[in-house]
């Protein structure tokens, strides 16, 4: 939806070449979706705070889970559309 702006913070969109109107639209959409996500989480009862368990989970992961180096199984897929969602 955001024309390949992965990893770009909303405050950095102007530096990435987006106009003032596009930046404001993106910020408004972001706020709308974050608010919607919070409403859905509350309605579903998914407001569990995992902070107290993070240290124990990290210990379990570090102790019992191992991973080998990744291996390539296919060619890279294009994740950016050729048609931008917003004008720069």
Contact (CB, 8 A) for 86 and 2? yes
Confidence (pLDDT) at 2: 44
Quick one: which of 57, 78, 72 has its CA closest to 3?
A: 78
pLDDT string in tens for the chain (88-residue length): 445 556 677 778 888 788 889 889 988 998 999 999 989 988 888 777 788 899 999 999 999 998 888 888 887 776 765 555 555 5
Confidence (pLDDT) at 41: 86
Confidence (pLDDT) at 81: 59
Name the pTM for this structure: 0.46
């Amino acid at each position: 939806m955001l024309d390949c702006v992965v990893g770009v913070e909303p405050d950095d969109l102007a530096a990435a070449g987006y106009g003032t109107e596009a930046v404001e639209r993106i910020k408004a959409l972001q706020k709308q979706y974050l608010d919607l996500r919070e409403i859905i989480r509350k309605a579903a009862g998914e407001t569990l705070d995992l902070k107290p368990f993070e240290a124990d989970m990290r210990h379990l992961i570090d102790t019992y889970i191992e991973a080998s180096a990744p291996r390539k199984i296919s060619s890279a897929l294009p994740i950016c559309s050729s048609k931008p969602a917003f004008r720069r």
